Structure 1
């Protein structure tokens, strides 16, 4: 088959061209449409495309260059060299676009240089220990990295859910736990619809506060113990609340946790003069409570679930410490309180359902003055779940 006119000359020139130039020619040829020479018409002798249009009309238009800011692609994060002897130098991968959401990751993933392997620091949440390892009774299965824990904070992908730490300081009565499970399952049921993950810390076995900076919020739950009978582990729980207040991590105290918050800010807890408050009761918001985001969308009075015999003494709460009473009722003068901007406490149990509170009444029937009346009062109280959802929305899931 005869070779096209001039083909040999171009092939020879291409063969002897520098490698970089040959690569550029291949790329240009790859995007070039199939050309031929027109034999007749006004374009006779010219190289034309399949439709007969001249090559000058077939040139691809170059898109105008866009800056990174205009394209929405973030810049890579600049990291300073690691401290120490230089071991564990870090480099940053290029930002990647999520296939599911189409968003760019803010900083890219941090990778460790393979020539300088970095040993994970003891207690560092970013380095996951072996599954059998224990981090102050916080098991490895509950140890999220800082990026996962902070969720939608600046510098991380918004697709990562925030993590709330449940500072668990007790267990429900055995008859209740046998039917309904334990506190972590009840709080996880409230967190999952809001797109929040839950980690669990055993506060009874703890000797030091957990790393509160690495979590989007902390919930201090209920306990059969009493603040009026101090135990050694309670001091670590109070220090955890104070440390969270110092670093700005939101805290929600529930029942016993509500009383610990009062103790952490100078208040005192005593036996409730009205005795046991159990099952479903109504509370009323104060002026501060009506304006607080914790009770957004709720009426001035609503019903919630209870099971407590101690109460915070309102005369010992000081406004100088930033403590405000948000709710009350006839049985308990301090049903909810605020300490500063990010610390909230509620005497009721938002994690209780009507079935759970009925089983609580049955489990404590021998110490209650009128268990039958308490069983008759028990009913669903969705306002408690709304309060917990408000706390997640106003403090935990903030951008």
Structure 2
């Protein structure tokens, strides 16, 4: 089964040196599912021919905002709508979660409540999960037909489903402790409040449920209802 990774950002240099770029994180997260992968760096203007170019799709995280004026965002939204209309499995993470919501009629904004950083607990219809968060932007208005699958006190719409074949999540199941540590060192200073940096640093070794989340993502990509 061929999975297309729609890459919407690049990892910071230190992360690239230590761990590689974002598509590799998802390949590692989903290891053992007999998937093959093709990456399309949409952030650099590289797009697939259409929704049927792959059997399923993943949209990565990004440092960009879904509401920002970049030349690659409108065609990505068009592709999302095409994938959705044609019933091809689609998973979005962080920015991917946000851009799918925006493309399908929801609203994304820089959240007035600030940042969510590090290990965070979410609850919903599938029980509780603890995953690493890294975001200030979030979905603040649902698209028509979206179902809320998980929330936290900070993030009301933390996991969403659209129909049977689209699943999106705000936190990062592909981020382990080392990824968060690098972001705290490279992207947080001067942007994320110091007390949140300190708190997230103290929680780096908090156990997370990324394996459960990987199983859910893989199941959606294989055609199990979201």
Give the TM-score taking structure 2 as reference length. 0.91
Q: Distance in 1 between matches of 2:145 and 2:223?
A: 24
Aligned equivalent of 2:134: 307
Give the secondary-structure state (helix, strand or coil) at the position aligned to 1:378: coil
Cα offset, 1:312, TM superposition: 0.5
Cα offset, 1:274, TM superposition: 2.1
Match of 2:182 among 359, 379, 385: 359
2:142 is equivalent to residue 317 of structure 1: yes
**Conserved 8 A contact 1:190-1:389:** no
Cα offset, 1:382, TM superposition: 4.2
**Structure 1 runs of 4+ off > 3 angstroms?**
207-210
Task: Give per-residue Cα distances to partners, 1:37-86, cap 9 Å, x unaligned.
Answer: xxxxxxxxxxxxxxxxxxxxxxxxxxxxxxxxxxxxxxxxxxxxxxxxxx
Aligned equivalent of 1:194: 33
Q: Distance in 1 between matches of 2:210 and 2:123?
A: 13
Give the secondary-structure state (helix, strand or coil) at the position aligned to 1:253: strand
- Say which structure, 1 or 2, has more relative contact order (CA 8 Å, 6+ apart): 2
Query: Following superposition of structure 1 onto structure 2, how do residues 146-225 of structure 1 map, counting pairs within 5 Å?
Result: 162-206=1-45, 210-225=49-64
Query: Following superposition of structure 1 onto structure 2, how do residues 35-50 of structure 1 map, counting pairs within 5 Å?
Result: none
**Conserved 8 A contact 1:191-1:198:** no
**Conserved 8 A contact 2:165-2:220:** no
Cα gap change, 1:246 to 1:198, in 2 (>3 Å)? same
How large is the Cα RMSD of the aligned pairs?
1.8
Q: Distance in 2 between matches of 1:349 and 1:397?
A: 22
Aligned equivalent of 1:86: none
**Conserved 8 A contact 2:6-2:42:** yes
Match of 1:247 among 86, 95, 98: 86
* Count of residues in Structure 1 that have an aligned counterpart in Structure 2: 221
Aligned equivalent of 1:27: none
Match of 1:331 among 154, 161, 165: 154
Give 5+ residue unaligned stretches, structure 2.
none
Q: Distance in 2 between matches of 1:355 and 1:372?
A: 15
2:47 is equivalent to residue 235 of structure 1: no
Cα gap change, 1:357 to 1:236, in 2 (>3 Å)? same
The structure with the larger Rg is 1
Give the secondary-structure state (helix, strand or coil) at the position aligned to 2:209: helix
**Conserved 8 A contact 1:353-1:380:** no
Cα offset, 1:303, TM superposition: 0.9
Give 5+ residue unaligned stretches, structure 1.
1-161, 291-299
Match of 1:263 among 102, 110, 134: 102
**Conserved 8 A contact 2:58-2:90:** yes
Aligned equivalent of 1:387: 213
Q: Which structure shows the bigger proportion of residues in strand conformation? A: 2
2:168 is equivalent to residue 345 of structure 1: yes
Q: Distance in 2 between matches of 1:380 and 1:249?
A: 35
